[in-house]
Structure 1
Amino acid sequence: MPPTLLPTTTAALLSWGLQSTLLLGAGWLLYRYVLRQERFFHFNRRFLLGLPWVALLVPPLLSAAEPGAWLSAWLPEPAAGGSGLLNGGLLPAITVRELSGGPTAGPMPWLLGLYGGGVLTLLLLLASQLLALHRSTRHFTREARPGYVLVRTGGQRPISSFGRLVFWDETAPLTTADARAVLAHELAHVRGHHTRERLLLEVARALLWPIPFVHRLPAALAQIHEFLADAAALRATAAPGAAVAAHPAAPEETATPYPALLARLALASLSPGLPLAHSFTQSFTLTRIRMLTTSAPLRRWKRWLPLPLSACLLLGLVACEKELDNAVPPPPPPTVVSIGSSVEAVQHKPGDPYNYVEQMPQYEGGQEQLLADISKTLNYPAGALAAKIEGRAFVKFTVGADGTIQNTEVQKGVAQNKPGVSKALAQELDEAALNAVRNLPGNWTPGRQNGEAVPVYFTVPITFSVE
């Protein structure tokens, strides 16, 4: 089956959720306890914006890329003569899955319905906030300015911004110099496209709503936006320019220190805010003042910490992607002795097939083609599928000295691996597994021992699973 970015089974969906939680949780903890107190605001902003999308996309991308394939390049090569097989000529397990429709299809539809309902609810809430913002501000007077639109609120709303709109309270007790600093703060939001970033993060929050950490990101990003805007306002007060025409004319006075101005306006603000708008007076005012007045040096080395953390998480996720084979462990191979380049089983009896030989039999197209052909010839019996019978059958066969498949038998059937199931239905699964091996379309090149063609055993585990 070709890889897909979307989970198709309950296990895949839960695995996706678990891996996304680990990624997002690790990233949030790194920001919360390492990066948050530092003043490299642009880096922190990009980190918070990218974190949810990494948590959303990396797990399915790893799954689609089949990380086990490239991870195996770091593992030791199989021993000579092993042909990549497991002990005793045991081939990798093959699983045939069928989707059973109707109300008994398992928890997958319910989980998808619950997830989709949560996403839709948060997106509708976001849409309602946008609509409320539009309705509550559409009657205000607007004035187009270079790069932004000034909206005069007449004291009905506090100074804030949304998109290209700057909501201005003409009744605020501001001098011309103070008004210049406040306007510079709001224009930093406009020019930095902070509203767009905030809305994108809200969409990511809706898509990742089951993960608790994602709901901490919007407030953290809003705080970073305020830090960036405060820095722009400080630059504006350090290099004053023309008076702010938005505010009523007032005699030029000594500008209030920006931290004091921030505290004064925060204490005086009792007007209701606007949904989704960047308000000059935020609830984390004291944090902004502390960041403005701190003289601690920048510890830029912390910006490199996400790299080793990402590497560790990537290796962990790759390990999670490798499915554990729950097959009954095969018996240990017989003791062997090496004489020059030949390998001979000590307990092998003349005429019996071998478990290992110097040159193992080769299927036309290789082992991957063998497993693919078995998967194609497998059919899930209708009776077992209707009764949702699952299980595993170990099919043992011999590749003869002439390259033909011989002595195909079920070494251990579904009923033996899963007691309690109907014997008749279990036999249907066993027979389906036998037919898949018997009807292989490809040809075999026989194995050789001491230069002679010899028969060799193979065993393939075949799992039947209903999703």
Structure 2
Amino acid sequence: MTHMGELMSFTLTSGIILLSMYLPYRLLLAGEKQHRLNRVILLAIYMAAIVIPLVRPVALPGISGIEAGAATAETGIAIGRLSGGLTEHSSTAWIRVLLWIYIAGAAVALVRLVWAYARLTVIIWNGKKIKMEGYTLVVTGNKNLSPFSWRGYVVVEKTSDATEYPAIMIHEMRHLSACHDIDLMLAQLYAVLVWYNPVSWLMIDELKTVHEYEADEAVIASGLNLRDYQMLLIKKAVGARLPSLANSLNHSKLQKRITMMYQSKSRTACKLGSLVLVPALAIGIAVVSIPAVASVISGASETTLLDSDSKVSKISAISANTESVAEMRTSAPASYNKVFTTVEKPAEFHGGIEAMMKWLQYNVKYPKEAEKAGEQGKAVVKFTVNKDGSISNATIEKSVSPSIDKEALRVVTSMPKWKPAENGGKKVACWFTLPVSFRLAPDKVTTKK
């Protein structure tokens, strides 16, 4: 059930990358007469939006999440953990609601896509098929249907003027030879996953526009009369609009297409403008790495559709920490006497929980020994935040394995200075616990704690 949360997390990251690259394309490149290059750029944007979240997840590979600890207190730890749990539960609850909304929206988008596929299939099935070299011509009796091409078929109405066929066939054959329908299918599948992001739908429109520019260019290059072709486009513009899976002669933005026919080829300098997408991609990655954004994405990734498991884990965490405090109160060494267990203002990592999560994500390394052994689990580290904010007295409160325990201790003791705790306005040393979860891919796990 966690896979849906991971999928939503992927779409959030992917959507940010897509937006960061779409904006400069739309502002600087969309109006240039470099249709083949623009098509490559659009497909590259899709590729980046899909690959980047997979190769560079918000959390480093092997670390499923960093859980914030709280200053321990003799009698307040259970209450503090409980209130923290309720806050976490409330936060998780609204993410869970959004997750259900996301699933519902994706289901609707998928149904629309299947319906479009079925509609095209029915049109082709009911038409008269004529096998040609390299494609199948489908003649339909639907007078309101504009010519279109899809999956090796070119569909035309039988009442079309014979003089129109050369332009129609050159146009549609360009779509088929360039595999434009594959572009649209992949773009539509992506839009199903990222349906809530308007850019995913705007990208489809940009892709179809570039496809039409390429097909128009093929007709013009063939030597057919430009004015006659433009009149054909105007005539077919009143035809029925087809599902977005197919390339249709009467694609919208007719005025832009006719204007583009008279535009000169873009200069080399304009083509070099595509390099602006490199810093745009870097900006997108930087936005995803912002602690507040990373926290939301990470929260979505770890959210499940059902709440039962989280309730059990929270109760276990409360009882476990209560027991550890009771033990600490009776067996704490004398050198710890000045370390407070109850404070008015708890110690805090500079920048807050999100900043601490980001710091840990960039510094924790999954032990190779544990990875080879298939070991995963949650190591709980207890440590002191001293008056000057430094970290000391780090010990393992809950062990997973020697290598994982060692890494958890290493990363905690190497943390930069914190904001120390305060009692009565004075800085004091206090206890802090920090659970760090290590997780492998399911097929690599042999030991779990």
AA of the residue aligned to 1:274: L
Among 156, 159, 175, the alignment partner of 2:147 is: 159
CA distance in 1, matches of 2:334, 2:104: 55
1:283 maps onto 2:252 in alignment: yes
Equivalent residue of 2:161, what SS? coil
- Tell me whether 1:224 sits opposite 2:224 in the alignment: no
**Residues 52-451 of structure 1: pairs in structure 2 closer than 5 A:** 52-59=46-53, 61-63=55-57, 66=60, 95=69, 106-154=93-141, 156=143, 157-175=145-163, 178-237=164-223, 255=224, 257-267=225-235, 269-275=237-243, 276-295=245-264, 297-298=266-267, 299-320=270-291, 382=315, 385=318, 407-408=335-336, 411-413=339-341, 416-417=344-345, 433=382, 437=396
For the Cα contact (< 8 Å) 2:14–2:49, is it kept in 1?
yes
> Does the residue aligned with 1:158 lie in a helix, a strand or coil?
coil
Question: Where in structure 1 are there 5+ consecutive unaligned residues?
Answer: 70-91, 238-254, 325-378, 397-404, 419-430, 445-457
Q: Call closer, same or farther: CA 1:409–1:58 in 2, change over 3 Å.
A: farther
Conserved 8 A contact 1:198-1:221: yes
**How is 1:9-20 mapped onto 2 (pairs within 5 angstroms)?**
19-20=13-14
CA distance 1:260–1:107, shift in 2 (3 Å): same
* Partner residue in 1 for 2:375: none
Q: Distance in 2 between matches of 1:258 and 1:41?
A: 18
Q: 1:297 to 1:417 in 2, by over 3 A?
A: same
Kept after mapping to 2: 8 A contact 1:160/1:279? yes
Q: Is contact 1:162-1:195 (8 Å) kept?
A: yes
CA displacement at 1:201 relative to structure 2: 0.3
Provide the rounded CA distance (Å) in 1 between the counterparts of 2:96 and 2:314: 24
Distance 1:60 1:111, change over 3 A: farther
SS in 2 for 1:281: coil
Cα distance change, pair 23–320 in 1 and its aligned pair in 2 (3 A): farther
Structure 1 residues 410, 302: CA separation in 2 closer, same or farther (over 3 Å shift)? farther
TM superposition shift of 1:291 = 1.0
Q: CA deviation at 1:416?
A: 4.1
Offset, 1:112: 2.0
The size of the alignment, in residue pairs, is: 324
In 2, are the aligned partners of 1:56 and 1:208 still within 8 Å (CA)? Answer: no
**Counterpart for residue 28 of structure 2:** 34
Counterpart-to-counterpart distance in 2, 1:219 and 1:322: 28
Q: Is the contact between residue 43 and residue 303 of structure 1 (CA under 8 Å) also seen in structure 2? A: no
Distance 1:412 1:383, change over 3 A: farther
Question: Residue 150 of structure 1: SS of its match in structure 2?
Answer: strand
State the alpha-carbon separation in 2 of the partners of residues 409 and 46 from structure 1: 67
Task: For residue 413 of structure 1, report the CA deviation from its aligned partner.
Answer: 3.9
2:146/2:236 contact within 8 Å kept: no
Give 2:43's aligned residue. 49
Q: Tell me, in whole angstroms, the C-alpha distance in 2 between the residues paired with 1:29 and 1:19.
A: 16
CA contact (8 A) 2:20 2:283 kept: no
Change over 3 Å in CA distance of 1:112–1:215 after alignment to 2: same
3-state DSSP of counterpart to 2:251:
coil
Q: Is the 8 A contact 2:236 2:249 kept in 1?
A: no
Contact map agreement 1:25 1:213 (CA 8 A) in 2 = yes
The aligned amino acid for 2:279 is P
Cα 1:218–1:433, aligned 2, differ >3 Å: closer, same or farther? same
Over the residues paired in the alignment, what is the CA RMSD in angstroms?
4.6
**Structure 2 residues without counterparts, runs of 5 or longer:** 71-80, 296-311, 347-379, 384-393, 410-428, 437-449
Aligned CA distance change for structure 1 residues 95 and 281 (closer, same or farther; 3 Å)? same
Q: TM-score, normalised by structure 1?
A: 0.57
* C-alpha displacement of 1:186: 0.2
Flag the structure with larger Rg: 1
Go from structure 1 to structure 2 and tell me whether the alpha carbon gap of 1:193 and 1:297 turns closer, same or farther (over 3 Å shift).
Answer: closer
Larger fraction in helix: 2
Identity %: 20
Q: Residues 11 and 193 of structure 2 are in contact (CA less than 8 Å); yes or no, is this contact kept in structure 1?
A: no
CA drift at 1:460: 6.7
- Residues 159-168 or 296-305, more deviating: 296-305
Kindly tell me: are residues 127 and 169 of structure 1, through their superposed partners in 2, closer, same or farther at Cα, counting changes over 3 Å?
same
- Could you tell me how far 1:204 is from its partner in structure 2? 0.5
Sort the Cα spacing of 1:414 and 1:216 in 2 relative to 1 into closer, same or farther, 3 A: farther
Q: What one-letter code is carried by the residue in structure 2 that aligns with 1:188?
A: R
- Matched residue, 1:373: none
Q: Which amino acid aligns with 1:264?
A: L
**Alpha-carbon distance change, 137 to 59 in structure 1, aligned in 2, over 3 angstroms:** closer
Please report how far the alpha carbon of residue 170 of structure 1 lies from its aligned counterpart in structure 2 after TM superposition. Answer: 3.6
How far, CA to CA, are the matches of 1:26 and 1:305 in structure 2? 11
Structure 2 CA distance for partners of 1:269 and 1:32, relative to 1, 3 Å: closer
Change (3 A) 1:152 1:464: same
